[in-house]
Amino acid sequence: MPFQYQRKPRVLLISHSCRKAVEGHPRAAALHALGTVDLKVITPRTWRFYGKWTGIEHPHPSLFQMTDHAVVFPWLPGIGSHMHTYVGLRHILNGFQPDVVDIWEEPWALVSAHATQLIRKEFPKTKILLETEQNLYKKLPPPFSNFWDYACREADYLVGRSEEALDVSKAYGYRGEAAVLPNGVDTSQFHPRNRAISRVRFGIPDERFIVGYAGRFVEEKGLMDLLNAVAKSEQRVHCWLVGGGPQKDALAARAAQNDLVGRVHFLPNQDHTALAEIMSAFDVFALPSRTVGNWKEQFGRVIAEAGAAGIAVIGSDSGAIPDVIGDAGIVFPEGDETAIADAIRTLLEQPALRAEYGANGRRRAEELFSWQPVATQYSDLLLYLAGLKERPDFTQNVT
């Protein structure tokens, strides 16, 4: 049974993801709405994302309390953002006096080691929660290996976005308590819609079969494999690619070849409202990611979003994709164009199976990936770390 206490535990969430409304805001807002913790979020004032300096989106004060702060080294050539940390972190900690600090950054980032060092020195009773999505073992060079060793040695708990992420952390030497907690999706934004109306809105003929993708146009997403698979498919199979990135020109050149001309359609990046509407016109959503030297798919939130929209999914076996798909679609070997084409043909020829996968995707989104259950699990964990609740069981998250 939970212990009795006089006030809500104070939780400080350190997160660059909370700079954006579609990334970190929903998780913090869902946790705040539960009313179980006194939540404060800090995020960098300046940030560089995929080569571009980005602005910050502040939440409405009723959603949760967030402040932006100056950081050193928000971006360095060849290193990225992993050397950033907060200039006034000691002052922030002293002012808030947290019971738990949730560091939503990789353990090998400077900010993780810096925050851990300050907490252990000045707030020895404060609990430290680390989070990781790193699901590919690679040798960390100094000083990042030193940051990881120190932060994980001192941490009270580690959350991994997948079982693979926890396996990698164990391979690095982590021996403490850990669990898998997924990313969340907005199931009120992404939900089943009237497909016929959506297709009329986007001018898609009834006989056309749409395989869709949304995200970055980069080699590791396997989009050239997808186009080659569409080329092997019936003429009525078309592909919609939503997003942008350095591979755009190469993909456009492939789409202009005779076997694909007129069958590949490019749309720019969309906000979540527009993307949810576009997805509703898809017959199948595809995520054909490939594992490359220093990366493999860490979660694939867009799969959960497609599932929430009731759309059948096909995805490669890169990283966490099979766990996120579950019984909501077809998994194929990464890089296998023929297997992708076979998956497309199966769902083209079996509408009942396609509908079953879509229904399963919606169920999984509601039970596993909606922000409410995800926030409830984080709440249970934070209360446990604060000594106010028994140890939670997260084994149901392992699929």
Neighbouring residues of 198: CB distance < 8 A, sequence distance ≥ 6: 277, 278, 280, 281
pLDDT over 80 at 211, yes or no: yes
CATH number of the structural domain spanning residue 53: 3.40.50.2000
What is the pLDDT averaged over residues 274-287? 97
Per DSSP, helices labelled H in 186-247 are 195-201, 223-231
Domain-embedded: residue 251? yes
Pick the closest to residue 323 from 337, 310, 313, 335 (CA basis): 313
Contact 168, 137 (CB under 8 A): yes
Domain span holding position 251: 195-368
- Calpha distance 100→43 (Å, rounded): 17
- Residue-wise pLDDT tens digits, 152-184: 999 999 999 999 999 999 999 999 999 999 999
CA 221 to chain centre: 15
- Give φ, ψ of 134 to 5 degrees: -65, 110
Query: Does 62 reside within a domain?
Result: yes
Q: What pLDDT is attached to residue 22?
A: 85
Cis peptide leading into residue 2 (ω within 30°): no
Whether 316 maps to a domain, the answer reads: yes
**Which residue type is seen at 148?**
W
* pLDDT of the residue at 250: 98
| Token reading at 155 | 């941490």
The total number of structural domains in the chain stands at 2
The HSE-up count of residue 378 (CA atoms within 13 Å, CB side) is 38
**Same domain flag for 162 and 284:** no
Q: How confident is the model at residue 5 (pLDDT cuts 50, 70, 90)?
A: low
226-250, pLDDT tens digit by residue? 999 999 999 999 999 999 999 999 9
Q: In whole angstroms, give the CA distance from residue 164 to residue 76.
A: 28
Structure tokens at 173: 């030497």
310 conformational bin, left if phi > 0, alpha if psi -120 to 50, beta if neither: left
**Residues 212, 279: Cα–Cα separation, whole Å:** 7
* 152 assigned to some structural domain: yes
| H-type alpha helices, the chain | 25-34, 89-96, 110-122, 144-154, 163-172, 195-201, 223-231, 248-255, 272-279, 301-308, 321-325, 337-349, 351-364, 371-385
Mean pLDDT score, 324-341? 98
pLDDT above 90: residue 321: yes
- 200 and 242 share one domain: yes
Is there a single domain that holds both residue 219 and residue 100? no
Residue 190 lies in a domain: no
**180 and 214 together in one domain:** no
Closest CA to 381 of 69, 61, 91, 104: 104
pLDDT-above-90 percentage for the chain: 93
* Residue 395 scores a pLDDT above 80: no
The answer to whether residues 294 and 384 belong to one domain is no
**Residue 323 CA: distances (Å) to CA of 199, 217, 236:** 30, 23, 30
Query: Is residue 23 domain-shared with residue 118, that is, in the same domain?
Result: yes
Q: What is the pLDDT of residue 58?
A: 95
Residues 238 and 360 placed together within one structural domain of the fold: yes
List pLDDT tens digits, range 52-67. Answer: 899 999 999 999 999 9
> Looking at the domain assignment, is residue 57 inside a domain?
yes
Q: How far apart are CA 333 and CA 370, in angstroms?
A: 28
Residue linked to tokens 């990464």: 334
Lowest mean pLDDT among 29-43, 49-63, 80-94, 203-217: 49-63
Q: What Rg, from alpha-carbon coordinates, does the chain have?
A: 22
Q: Is the pLDDT of residue 379 over 90?
A: yes
Q: Is the domain of 58 the same as that of 207?
A: no
Q: What is the mean pLDDT of the chain?
A: 95
| ∠ Cα 387 389 393 (to 5°) | 120
Same domain, 178 and 235: no
Beta bridge partners of 209: 237
Instruction: Confirm whether 165 is domain-assigned.
Output: yes
Q: 144-154 vs 110-122: helix axis angle to the nearest 10? A: 40
Going by the DSSP 8-state scheme, the letter that residue 99 receives in this structure is S
User: Tens digits of per-residue pLDDT, 61-119?
Assistant: 999 999 999 999 999 998 999 999 999 999 999 999 999 999 999 999 999 999 999 99
The pLDDT-based confidence of 398 (bands split at 50, 70, 90) is very low
My answer on whether 208 and 336 are in the same domain is: yes
Predicted local confidence at residue 396, as pLDDT: 60
Count CB atoms within 10 A of the CB of residue 352: 7
How many other C-beta atoms can be found within 10 angstroms of the C-beta atom of residue 20?
16
- The whole-number pLDDT of residue 397 equals 61
Contact by Cβ (8 Å): 244, 268:
yes
Same domain, 222 and 146: no
Judge whether 182 and 369 are in contact, CB under 8 Å: yes
Q: Can you tell me the mean pLDDT for 267-290? A: 96
- Please tell me whether residue 40 adopts helix, strand or coil conformation: strand
The dihedral sign for the CA sequence 44, 151, 157, 88: negative
Q: Is 326 helix (H, G, I), strand (E, B) or coil?
A: coil
Report pLDDT for 51: 78
**Residue 3 covered by a domain:** no
Residues 269, 170 share a domain: no
